[in-house]
Amino acid sequence: MPHDRAGTMKNPIIGLDASDIAANSSAALAAGSLKGLMSGENKFPFRRGVVVEVINDVYKFSELLEEGEKYFTLVANEAVASQATRNSLLIAPYDDQLSGKLLVCLPFFPSHIVLPIKVGEVVWWIEGPSYPYWFSRVASTDQIEDVNYTHLDQELITSVPLLEDARSKAEKQEGSSGRFQPENNNGLGGSQGGPSFVPLKYSPENLENQGLYKNITEAIPRFTPKVGDLVLQGSNNTLISLGTDRGWTKEDESPDIFEISNASDDVLPGSGTIDIVAGRGMLEKDPKPASDSSAGDNPERTKPRTVTTKEGNVTTDKTFVHNDDEPNRAEGDPDFHADLSRMYVTMNSAVDQKLSISDEYNDPISGSFDDVEGASVAIKSNEIRIVSRPDGSVRILKEKGEGQGASIVMMKDGTIHISGDKVYIGQPGGKGEGENGSEAYVLHSQLKDWCNKLHSELDTFCQTVAGHTTPGYGVPSPQITQAAVTMKANLLGTVKPVINNFPSKRIYGE
């Protein structure tokens, strides 16, 4: 195929050239478009193609284009392929426009947005003025669509609507038909035979060991958004939802509660929420997947129902209705108990109640830890780290109100400052003189001053005793008597009162 000096392609891969567009007035283009719409001649601008390679490693892909390598002479637009940006695709168009050759499509969206796509999935692509672009993965029906991996050819072997003819009903009554089990079409209509969107050589199994990477199959719960939510999902159970306050809690234990999604809860004004979560429903035990002979286990809480495909992969069961199984209506819902890791930023939420943390506290020495509601940021996971580099610091601060506020500050020199109107360490129930049996921490300067005075008094007394002269004959020693009287007076007047200065007025512990 011919190329220009810039490496772009000539027809038939591209549509209108930029110079063609410039040569036509906007009025003429608009008139032509309107005429096409009214005459019914306007065609859908996007075409479909199956993904042969996801070009995430542009350097490795360039090696595969060299002589003797996998794609040498197989790419129609070689000049574009040699300049392909990251997340470009090597696709096989559905039509045979390229006589069996493959096409490199650049991503339609700039690098600010990277859409997930897998080998064997089907994408929309379009002829651009300079390069062909891929727009997005082709969405499918509820029985096929899967955020982890969507094999569009399954549409041709999965009946919609769900109908049974007399023969299949009879077989089902006799127990000879088995359960419906999903399978990839494999380019030939699956085990049932039939039409296909793409040739067999571009089926998922034949694309499994491609040059750049290998697909990872996982059972990912499907997410039910509330109306008005903006949701971004990755392929491996990661999700960001810009919506409103919602979520199951640890106290939601009855199976009856999960008969409907919490997306159906009323939206409260002023409860806008950003929910960043990884591992939805993963804390619960995975259900046994269904198969061609077994219904498997009913999923708990927000787990998805799973099934083993005919290829042996465990995936989310999207065709359960074929086997008269019931869906888990709460599948994929936000669950503050069973989701593995979450960062929750909300305008208004009963966040303590959602986290079920009231029973997790040890009793405070003073006051109570009451559940609060309001603007909140919550983080929950197994291992939480807040790390500063050597030349930085970490500061946890409660702003000053009527009191002095409170803070924990770790300075870059390694010192830690803990400040507050009162600082409690440990648990109540001791035998101290403080609140709930707590012990006040000793102030070192006061103790040091007291010890010095006590030492001085004892030293003076000892010096007096060591140098005194006894009058003999059992008569009391005036020196010893006077020294004892002096030390007793000093201990009572200047040493003992210092003891009252030992307890801290701020720091208490067990």
Asked if 251 and 361 sit in the same domain, the reply is yes
Same domain, 238 and 370: yes
Q: Maximum distance among all alpha carbons in the chain?
A: 141
Q: How confident is the model at residue 488 (pLDDT cuts 50, 70, 90)?
A: confident
In a domain, 408, yes or no: no
Q: Indicate the residue type of 115.
A: L
Same structural domain for residues 340 and 291?
A: yes
Report pLDDT for 220.
Answer: 96
Q: What is the mean predicted confidence (pLDDT) over 73-82?
A: 92
Examine the domain organization and report whether 340 and 482 are in the same domain: no
Do 227 and 342 have their domain in common? yes
Left (φ > 0), alpha (ψ -120 to 50) or beta: where does 252 sit?
Answer: beta
Provide the 10 A C-beta neighbour count for residue 414.
Answer: 7
Based on the domain organization, do 129 and 172 belong to the same domain? no
Is residue 175 pLDDT above 50, yes or no? yes
Instruction: Tell whether 235 and 297 lie within a shared domain.
Output: yes
Using pLDDT thresholds of 50, 70 and 90, give the confidence band for residue 314: very high
Tell whether 356 is covered by a domain: yes
Instruction: Provide the mean pLDDT of the chain.
Output: 81
Domain shared by 123 and 254, yes or no? no
Co-location of 120 and 167 in the same domain: no
pLDDT at 172: 55
Instruction: State the pairing for strand pair 394-398/416-419.
Output: unpaired
For residue 350, the Cα-to-chain-centroid distance in whole angstroms is: 21
- Residue 160 clears pLDDT 90, i.e. is over it: no
Around Cβ 310, how many Cβ atoms within 10 Å? Answer: 14
CA neighbours closer than 13 Å in the CB half-sphere of residue 125:
29
Q: Which of 55-64, 337-346, 441-450, 481-490 has the highest mean pLDDT?
A: 337-346
Same domain, 195 and 245: no
Query: Does a structural domain hold residue 416?
Result: no
Task: Residue 284: give the domain boundaries.
Answer: 220-385
Q: Is residue 240 one of the residues assigned to a domain?
A: yes
Is 335's pLDDT higher than 70? yes
Whether residues 264 and 378 share a domain: the answer is: yes
Least confident of 194-208, 260-274, 335-349: 194-208
Residue-wise DSSP of 431-473: SSSSGGG-EEEEPHHHHHHHHHHHHHHHHHHHHHHHH-----T
User: Smallest Cα–Cα separation from 449: which of 507, 508, 499?
Assistant: 499
- The number of distinct structural domains making up the chain is 4
Residue 89 resides in a domain: yes
Examine the pLDDT at 15 and tell me if it is beyond 50: no
pLDDT over 70 for what percent of the chain? 79
Residue 172, domain member (yes or no): yes
Residues, the chain: 510
- The pLDDT assigned to 288 comes to 94
Same domain, residue pair 133 and 158? no
